[in-house]
Structure formats: C-alpha cells, structure tokens
Amino acid sequence: MAVSVKAIGVCTGGGDCPGLNAVIRGVVKAAVNDYRWRVFGVEDGFDGLIWPEKTRELDHASVRGILPRGGTILGTTNRGNPFAYELVENGKTVVQDFSRRCLDNMRGLGIDAMIIIGGEGTLKIAYEFYKLGMPVVGVPKTIDNDLSATEVTFGFQTALATATDAIDRIHTTAESHHRIMLVEVMGRDAGWIALHAGIGGGADVILIPEIPFTIEKICQKITQREAQGSKFSVIVVAEGAKLPEKDPAGKPIPRAKPGNVGNTLAFSLREFTQKEVRVTVLGHLQRGGSPVVFDRLLGSRFGVMAVHLVGEQKFGHMVCLQCDQIRSVPLAEAVGVYKMVDPRSDYIRTARSLGIVFGD
C-alpha cells in the first residue's frame, strides 16, 4: 500500500517493560528530525484509537528526560483487544468489535501510519489491523525474550540484572539460615530469564518449561550438596515450568498457575527433604525500574528503524535484531512462533558443567 505520510501514531500494548520510553523517544526524534512528521501518542494500548480523546501530540519536549525512565509515558494495558473489546453494560459483560472504529478514528485524527510496540498478543492485533488496511510497523517487546524473529528484545537485559541481583541477595540469607531458597522468575512459555539469571547468580538448580523435571532429582542435588558441606541450596524456577504429575510418594501434585509454581514446588520439597524452604516470587519487580544501557540502546535503535520502515513504505513489517544489525521481517512470519530454550544449547551445557541441575 502506498501512503502519503505527514503524521504517524505510536502506541504501547501489553505488559510494561524497561526500554519502552527509549523506543517512543527514538520514534519521535527520528520522525521529527528526519521527516518533519507530526507524531501522536496513542494512550493505553489501542484505547486511544477507540476513544480519540486519549491521543496527544508528541514533540521533542514530550520525550525530554524519558530515556532512563521505566514503564511507558503512553500507558499500556494487556486487556482491550479492539477486535473483541469487553465492556460492562447494565451489569453484564458484552464483547464488541471496535476495529473499524479504530481505523475511522485514526483517519479522523490525521494519522497516516501506526507504529505499534508490543509482545506476541499486541503484534497479532497489529497484523490483523494491517490486513484490514491500516499501515502498520511493529516493534517487538517482551522481557521474556521469547519472540522468534529477533535475537533479543529490549527489557530482557534489565530483567536479568534485577533477577540476578535478587539471587545474589537470596544467597546470603540462604547460607546464613541453612535454607532451601526458591526464586520464581518470569517466563510463562520459555525459560530465558531463569536460565541466564540462574547461571549468572550461581543457582544450584534451574527449572524451565523446556526441560521436564522430577522432585527426586532436585532432592538428590540438595542431598549431594549437603554431603559436600553445603547446607543450603538456591533454586531458580521459571513461572511456566511444568510441575511433575506426581511426587516421589506417588501423590498427585496440584497444577499451579504462574506466580504459584514456586509455592507448590516448595510444599513438595519440604515434605521430602524435611528442610526449611522459603519462596521469593519476583513477579512485576522484573518489569520495573530504569533500563540498563543495552536496553536503552536497543530501544532507541528499534524506534528509529521503525520510523525509517514507515518512510520506506514497508508496512506489515516488524523491526528485529539479527547479527547485531537492526533489520525487519514480515509480521506474518513474526507472530505465532515462540523462541524456546534448546535443551542442547551451549547455555545448558555450560550450566551442567558448572554443576547446575535441571531436574531431569
């Protein structure tokens, strides 16, 4: 589609992530400096296209000082799919399709193309809008680092730094009190944070969705450490790690939702090790705070490249990092495929050689 561009919109969808403001800043600066375009910030995901009063113009002053800030100045939401938007009317939840309304409001605001920043779910919506005729460029965002089309996503390194620092701190209290300490980190589908932070933080056990584990193997590691004189153990578990169906006694283990995997696992470990087990769920702590330099750089590069893709009329594409170069891939190829940890990877081999076990 050939589009005459004089103004673009930018929005952030899904969970917040360190580096989002770097992308927004990159978009605004590149659009104004290189193309003399106007830029509109669409607030709270796609809500600003459903309700145009939640859209505001951005300029150099709007993005001044936001580079080191966490979160997103535009706000975000992980609910509110315009193709199936839930509203409460007369006490009942109704679902409406606001996609055409978004397109009409976009045109009414004078926005010629959209840069949509988000994770898997948001990018799927972006692709659906593209198929409806919206000129769209996507920017991948997730601290989980599980999007297949890009080598790394901004926010991942900051989340790693937060998780590794927490594991370092957990070590001192674990050793002092001779405890088993469980640290649950994000990673619903893939175990990248658990793997990297576990190695970087010197964990004894790492549990990830890609490698099935048993309670027996974890207990064996704890017993082995005790025989070697270590009276404590640190276990890092991804929130999406698959708990075994049964414990060593053959009793069913309850299914656990993300955020409760650590507590469910701790119950079994207490029973079969007779040790004190404590759980720390890092949760949204991993999403917050100032982005590290890598994420500021990558976010800035993604934002600038997204603007250039609009300038080149490469709609329906997503920016990505490949071989340390910012490139683009079609959204059709980018969504729906997760990047998982390969159990045969160098990282896994390194961890095993360091004495870390995965419970398999």
Query: What letter represents residue 182's amino acid?
Result: L
Is there a shared CATH topology between the 7-154+291-322 domain and the 159-287+343-353 domain? yes
Per-residue pLDDT of the chain (360 residues; tens, 9 = 90+): 678 999 999 999 998 999 999 999 999 999 999 999 999 999 999 999 999 999 999 999 999 999 999 999 999 988 889 999 988 888 888 999 999 999 999 999 999 999 999 998 999 999 999 999 999 999 999 999 999 899 999 999 999 999 999 999 999 999 999 999 999 999 999 999 999 999 999 999 999 999 999 999 999 999 999 999 999 999 999 999 998 888 888 888 877 676 688 889 898 898 888 889 999 999 999 999 999 999 999 999 999 999 999 999 999 999 999 999 999 999 998 888 889 999 999 999 999 999 999 999
End-to-end C-alpha distance for the chain, whole angstroms: 51
For residues 239 and 283, give the distance between their C-alpha atoms in angstroms, rounded to a whole number. Answer: 9
Burial of 144 by CB count in 10 Å (0-12 exposed, 13-18 middle, 19+ buried)? buried
Rg, Å, the chain Cα set: 23
Query: What letter represents residue 231's amino acid?
Result: K
pTM check: above 0.75: yes
| Three-class SS state of 40 | strand
Please check whether residue 47 is in contact with residue 183, taking contact to mean a CB–CB distance below 8 angstroms.
no
Which residues are the active-site residues? 144
Q: Which fold has domain 7-154+291-322?
A: Rossmann fold (3.40.50)
Which residue in 189, 97, 137, 89 sits closest to 312, CA to CA? 137
Q: Tokens for 146?
A: 């599980």
Instruction: Write down the domain spans for the chain.
Output: 7-154+291-322, 159-287+343-353
Q: Which CATH number fits domain 159-287+343-353: 3.40.50.460, 3.10.20.30, 3.40.309.10, 3.40.30.10?
A: 3.40.50.460
Which residue in 226, 223, 224, 155 sits closest to 192, CA to CA? 155
Q: What value, to the nearest 5°, has the Cα angle with vertex 261 and ends 258 and 263?
A: 125
Q: Which residue has the tokens 């580079």?
A: 67
Please check whether residue 347 is in contact with residue 199, taking contact to mean a CB–CB distance below 8 angstroms.
yes
